[in-house]
Structure 1
Amino acid sequence: MKELGLINKLKINRFTDFGAYLALSDGGEVLLPKGYLTGEEKEGDVVEVFVYTDSEDRPVAVTQKPLALLDDFAVLEAKEVTKFGAFMDWGLPKDLFVPNGEMAKNMEVGQKYLIRVCVDFKSTRLIGVSKYRDFINPAPQDFEPGNEAEGLIFEKTDLGYKVLIDDQYEGLIFSNEVFQPLEIGSTRKLWIKKRRDDGRLDLQVLPVGRVKYEEGSEKILSILEEKGFLPLHDKSDPAEIQAILGMSKKHFKQCIGQLFKARQIVIGPDGISVSRD
């Protein structure tokens, strides 16, 4: 069934007490349960639905959209862990099952994991797979330092944050280069720092070179325009700078140096303020 795991526009063939039967491309039908109907539909109408399998592995259509479609990645939370596998919350009444054999590591309830939605060809049902590296490719050579990339942050390790780029490349943001909270499951703009020989990417949360300092300077100036004064200077504790501005002390000093040269701020013994010259 080519509609399985996808958002489809299907025609209503007929109605029953249980709902509406929709026409599939192979000549079969799939049930859209009554709870998903408004009561205004007619035979021949086209409805947009997601098709998956119910608790008895029968095809069923719903108007809800899951967090990931077939062959998509998403960061999902484990709702239940059994001796057979884990059930993940993917936004539908029936949770997505990850069999033990498809787990990259043991899962815990309440924790989030990178999951790819796949078809179990033995049962023809949708399952989740956390062995993400089975689907990862080396990043192309043209992924050069300074390039922008959209990344899905999916795991925190001792080294840093693992990131999925373009649904097929793996990257890492090193912990000692993170000066602001990063949420697991969030997608954000990142910059490539280095492409390793194995095709993995070293990433950073700030752009390289002048753009980085311009953005940092704009942030500091915006806060100063609002508050008038910041109790930060080149002798401030790095942890204090990170807590207030979400940047390293080195970055902070470079930014205020840039603002001072442009005569946009005044640097005093207790902090910085906006220049009124």
Structure 2
Amino acid sequence: MLKPGLFYTLTADDMLSQGLYLKDEEGERVLLPRRQVPDNIQTGDSLKVFVYLDSDDRLIATTDRPRAQLHQVASLQVKDVNSTGAFLDWGLPKDLFVPFAEQKQRLEAGKTCLVYITEDNTGRLIGSTRLNRFIKDEARSDWPGAPAPFTQGDIVRLIIAQRTDIGYKAVVNDEYWGVLHESQIHKAIRVGQKTEGYIRRVRDDHRLDLSLEPIGHARADALANRIMKKLVESGGQLGLSDHSPADLIELHFGVSKRAFKMAIGKLFKDRQIVIEADGIRIADGPGDERRSAKPRNDRKPAQTGKADKKAEKAPKAAGRKTVYRNPKSQSERTLKLKK
């Protein structure tokens, strides 16, 4: 059965004056208006369409792509507000209706808001800004004993929802709340933005901590590829190293200094780059990939000359005997001095 608010791949069945009828595997049909029928389509061809209700509450198909479908969250602009509610632009000829009862705060024309696509008790598609009715705080399975929805490092879809004291709240896969802590943000983001993210941690209370960067080795691998691409574009050299300021690294790559150091360490270990005092460059000669400008350790050179004499005149250590040695060889006939 065709349900309003979802995408379907249907089969061209019959062309009439009003448009093309499409059908699903069970034989249910829906009309695609003539102005949207693709050129040269033939009976039996497959076509992906979005199904919704028109102004007369009739099921209709469209090749237009809305900004969200049923049970998804989107940032939409308010086109109009009247005595019944607000109407939002979601990319279709028929605007998305948000009743006053589904508005957490009164919507204003021209403003944008986050809205969840749902349906009323008659099956018509509506929007709701009361996201807490639909988005869950705890990411746990609905069935006892079933595996958790996420594990550390999983790639997820995020939509930034709200600024908080510790960072941002984000909607994860249109279903769960997650927190993006300030320490994990190294590039500009905004409320309403859609982006790819990662599960940094599933807490003991089943709530989600998020990251905009891959976790663990995956982060180093992805960033290393970006650094090599940047090196190639810059002629083989880059004025950044592990001694560069964190804000400069963040400006160029949108990552933390720690992540950058891990990535260039991997590239150096793989003999792809040379680390110099003022930056990094692509290794381009025999043995070049093994050389680094960084010292191997922090040991000071041994003291010589006057420093040695000063060391000999240093005060006696408590509880230890001082032995005076004869500077001449024992082969000569000299007296041995003892304390």
For the criterion TM > 0.5, the same-fold answer is: yes
When normalised by structure 2's length, the TM-score is: 0.64
Shift of 1:128: 1.0
Please give the alpha-carbon distance, in whole angstroms, between the structure 1 residues aligned to 2:194 and 2:176. Answer: 16
Please give the alpha-carbon distance, in whole angstroms, between the structure 1 residues aligned to 2:42 and 2:228. Answer: 59
Structure 1 residue aligned with 2:88: 88
Contact 2:153 2:215 in 1 (8 A): no
Structure 1 residue matching 2:198: 3-state secondary structure: strand
Structure 1 residues 102 and 196, CA, compared in 2 at 3 Å: closer, same or farther?
A: farther
Please give the alpha-carbon distance, in whole angstroms, between the structure 1 residues aligned to 2:45 and 2:282. Answer: 63
Please give the alpha-carbon distance, in whole angstroms, between the structure 2 residues aligned to 1:252 and 1:11. Answer: 53
1:78-227 correspondence runs (5 A):
78-82=77-81, 84-107=84-107, 109-113=110-114, 115-121=115-121, 124-137=123-136, 138-140=138-140, 142=148, 146-158=152-164, 159-182=166-189, 184-188=192-196, 190-227=197-234
Please give the alpha-carbon distance, in whole angstroms, between the structure 1 residues aligned to 2:276 and 2:172. Answer: 43
Shift of 1:154: 3.5
The residue type paired with residue 176 of structure 2 is Y
Q: CA RMSD in A?
A: 3.8
Structure 2 residue matching 1:254: 3-state secondary structure: helix
Structure 1 residues 231 and 131, CA, compared in 2 at 3 Å: closer, same or farther?
A: same
Contact 1:12 1:46 in 2 (8 A): no
Structure 1 residues 31 and 257, CA, compared in 2 at 3 Å: closer, same or farther?
A: closer
Structure 1 residues 248 and 49, CA, compared in 2 at 3 Å: closer, same or farther?
A: closer
Shift of 1:259: 3.3
Q: Which entry has the higher C-alpha Rg, 1 or 2? A: 2
Structure 1 residues 211 and 50, CA, compared in 2 at 3 Å: closer, same or farther?
A: closer
Structure 1 residues 46 and 231, CA, compared in 2 at 3 Å: closer, same or farther?
A: closer
When normalised by structure 1's length, the TM-score is: 0.76
Please give the alpha-carbon distance, in whole angstroms, between the structure 2 residues aligned to 1:239 and 1:143. Answer: 35
Work out the percentage of aligned pairs sharing the same amino acid.
34
Structure 2 residue aligned with 1:76: 75
Structure 2: which 5+ runs fail to align? 141-146, 289-339
Please give the alpha-carbon distance, in whole angstroms, between the structure 2 residues aligned to 1:161 and 1:242. Answer: 19
Structure 2 residue matching 1:139: 3-state secondary structure: coil
Please give the alpha-carbon distance, in whole angstroms, between the structure 1 residues aligned to 2:249 and 2:263. Answer: 12
Structure 1 residue aligned with 2:329: none
Please give the alpha-carbon distance, in whole angstroms, between the structure 1 residues aligned to 2:54 and 2:75. Answer: 19
Structure 2 residue matching 1:173: 3-state secondary structure: strand
Structure 1 residues 196 and 233, CA, compared in 2 at 3 Å: closer, same or farther?
A: same
The residue type paired with residue 82 of structure 1 is V
Structure 1 residues 232 and 126, CA, compared in 2 at 3 Å: closer, same or farther?
A: same
Please give the alpha-carbon distance, in whole angstroms, between the structure 2 residues aligned to 1:22 and 1:274. Answer: 60
Please give the alpha-carbon distance, in whole angstroms, between the structure 2 residues aligned to 1:79 and 1:217. Answer: 42
Of stretches 37-46 and 128-137 in structure 1, the one that deviates more from structure 2 is 37-46
The residue type paired with residue 67 of structure 1 is R
Structure 2 residue aligned with 1:232: 240
Number of equivalences? 269
Contact 2:213 2:255 in 1 (8 A): no
Structure 1: which 5+ runs fail to align? none
Shift of 1:11: 8.1
Shift of 1:245: 1.6
Contact 1:12 1:47 in 2 (8 A): no
Structure 2 residue aligned with 1:269: 277
Please give the alpha-carbon distance, in whole angstroms, between the structure 2 residues aligned to 1:162 and 1:90. Answer: 23
Contact 2:267 2:273 in 1 (8 A): yes
Shift of 1:187: 4.3
Structure 1 residue matching 2:67: 3-state secondary structure: coil
Please give the alpha-carbon distance, in whole angstroms, between the structure 2 residues aligned to 1:117 and 1:60. Answer: 17
Shift of 1:178: 1.7
Shift of 1:33: 4.4
Shift of 1:58: 3.2
Alignment deviations for residues 62-116 of structure 1 (CA, whole Å, 9 cap, x no partner): 423433333x303132132525433222221111111221123444534241x33
Of stretches 39-48 and 7-16 in structure 1, the one that deviates more from structure 2 is 39-48
Contact 1:78 1:107 in 2 (8 A): no
Which structure is higher in RCO with an 8 Å CA cutoff and minimum separation 6? 1
Please give the alpha-carbon distance, in whole angstroms, between the structure 1 residues aligned to 2:87 and 2:36. Answer: 24
Shift of 1:268: 2.8
Contact 1:11 1:23 in 2 (8 A): yes
Structure 2 residue matching 1:259: 3-state secondary structure: helix
Q: Which has a greater percent of strand?
A: 1
